[in-house]
Amino acid sequence: MFARLIALQKKLKTSLQFEPCLEERFQNDHFEKSLPDVRAALWLQIILYALFGILDNWIVPETKFVIWTIRFIVVTFTLLVFFFTYSKAFQRYMQFVLSVNGIVAGCGIVAMIMFSKPTELGFQFYYAGLMLVIMYYYILLRLRYAYATITSIIIVLGYEVVAIGFQNLLTGPQLPVFINNNFFFISSLIIGNIAGLTLEIYMRKDFLQRVEIEKANEELKKLDTLKSDFISLVSHELKTPLSAIRTSAEFLESEDAIDADVEKEILNNVIVNVDRLTQLINDILDLSKIEAGRMEFHFEKVNVQETIKVAIGNIKYLALKDNIAISIEIPEYLPPVFADRNKLIIVLNNLISNGLKFTHNGGTIILSAKEEKDDIEIRVKDTGIGVDKDQISKIFDKFYQVDNSFRRKTGGIGLGLAISSGIIRAHGSEICVESEPGKGSIFYFRLKKFEKK
C-alpha cells in the first residue's frame, strides 16, 4: 500500500514536472497564456469583494464599518497586484504574488467571520466566501497546483484559528455548525485539489502536444527548403556541364577543318563534363539508396594500402593540376580490414577530393593509416581552409556547404560527406573531424581489422 502510494506520488511528480529546459518553456508559455485570464480574474475578485459590501448592511449592521474597512484593504491590495501584473518582475513572482493575494483575500473573509459573531445557533456569516476563494484559486486563477494547495490550506487554517481560538466553537453548543463548516471546507479542498491537478496535467499535456506539433512543423519546413535546395542545386549542377557539352558539340559541328589537337582537347572536355554529370547522378542515387537502407554492401578482406592507392590514382591528375602534393604514411605491415572495398574507395575519393577542393595551390594532403587495438584508423589530412567549430556537425548534412560560392569554382552539391558518413556508419563506425580554420582539417574513421574465422 505504502509502496503503491510512493509510486503514485512519483508518477504524479513526473506528470507535473518536465526536464529543466522544457519546464522553463512550459512556465513561460503558461505565463503568456494565463496573463489575460489572471487580470480578468483579479478584476472579478475586486468587483465581487466590493459588491458583497451591500450584504454587510443587512447581516452585520453593527460591525459593517469594520468589515467595509477589511474589504477596502483587500480590494486595495488586489488593485496593487493588478497593476503589478504589468511590471516585468511579475512573471518571476507571479505564483508567489497571487498566492499572497489569495491569502490576503482569504484572511479578509476570516476576519469578517471573526467580526461578525455567530448566531445563537452557531451560524457563521461569510464562511461560504472561503469556499469561493478556494475554488477561485484552483480553477479561475490557474495558480499552479502546489501554490493553490498551500494557499487554500493557509486560508482554512486561518479559519480554524478564529473558530477555535476566538469563537470557541469546538467546545460550545455550536460544535455541529463548526463540524458542518469544516466538512464543506474539506470538500472544497478535495474538489479544488482534483480540479487543480487535472487542470495542470491537462495544461502540460496540451503544451507537450503543441511542442510536438511545432517540431513536426519545423521538420516539414526543413524538408520543404531541402526540396527547393535540392532542385536549385541539382538544376544548377546539371546546367553547367550540359552547356559545356553543348558549346563543345556546336564548335565541332560548325568548324570544318579542326586541328587534331584542338579536337582532342574539346572531346576531352566533353568527357570530363559527362563524368561530372555521371558523378552527380551517382551521388544522388547513392544517397537515396543509403537513406532507404537499400545500399548493398559486400564485406570482405581489404588491403588498406592498395585501396588508398587506387583512390589517389582516381584523382591524381587534379592534384597535379593544382600543384597539391599527396603523400601516404602507412606502416610497412598493416593488417587488412573487414570492409566493402568499392564503397571504401568512394569514401576516400570524397575525402581526398574535398581536401583538393578546399586546399589552396601548393598545399599538401596526407593519407595515413595505423593500428588502434582491434581497428585500423584511416586519416585524410589537408592544409586547406579548415572548418569553423560550429559548422563541423552540419557539414555531414546533405546539401550543406559552408560557403556555397565555392560550388561555382569546385563543383559538388554537398552530398559527398553525407554519402561517406552513411557508408562508414554501415561499417559500424563514424567519420570524425578535427579542423582549424586557416590551418587545415583531418577527417578520420576506424574500420574493424579482418579476422580469420
Q: Please give the Cα distance from 452 to 10 (Å, whole number).
A: 52
338 by DSSP, 3-state: which?
Answer: strand
411 by DSSP, 3-state: which?
Answer: coil
* 365-376 as b/e: b if 16+ CB within 10 A: bbbbbeeeeebb
Query: Which residues here bind ligand ADP, judged by CB under 6 A?
Result: 350, 354-355, 357-358, 382, 384-387, 395, 400-403, 412-418, 441
* H or E element in which residue 307 lies: helix 304-321
Query: Least Å distance between CB 449 and ligand ADP?
Result: 27
C-beta closer to ligand ADP: residue 124 or 354: 354
Query: Least Å distance between CB 395 and ligand ADP?
Result: 4
C-beta closer to ligand ADP: residue 318 or 402: 402
- Cβ neighbors of 32 (< 8 A, separation 6 or more) are none
Residue at grid coordinates 564548335: 251
Q: Parallel, antiparallel, or unpaired for β 432-436 and 440-448?
A: antiparallel
Query: Least Å distance between CB 397 and ligand ADP?
Result: 8
C-beta closer to ligand ADP: residue 197 or 284: 284
Q: Please give the Cα distance from 196 to 191 (Å, whole number).
A: 8
Query: Least Å distance between CB 394 and ligand ADP?
Result: 8
- Cβ neighbors of 311 (< 8 A, separation 6 or more) are 345, 348, 349, 352
C-beta closer to ligand ADP: residue 366 or 402: 402
- Cβ neighbors of 305 (< 8 A, separation 6 or more) are 328, 330, 334, 369
Query: Least Å distance between CB 146 and ligand ADP?
Result: 50
Residue at grid coordinates 480578468: 40
Could you tell me how many helices (H) and strands (E) the chain has, helices first? 14, 7
C-beta closer to ligand ADP: residue 53 or 411: 411
Q: Identify the CA nearest to 107 among candidates 63, 152, 138.
A: 152
C-beta closer to ligand ADP: residue 373 or 408: 408
C-beta closer to ligand ADP: residue 144 or 381: 381
43 by DSSP, 3-state: which?
Answer: helix
Which residue is nearest to ligand ADP, using beta carbons? Answer: 412
Query: Least Å distance between CB 380 and ligand ADP?
Result: 8
Q: Identify the CA nearest to 139 among candidates 102, 95, 192, 205.
A: 192
Q: Please give the Cα distance from 59 to 259 (Å, whole number).
A: 118
Query: Least Å distance between CB 210 and ligand ADP?
Result: 35
C-beta closer to ligand ADP: residue 94 or 417: 417
Query: Least Å distance between CB 192 and ligand ADP?
Result: 59
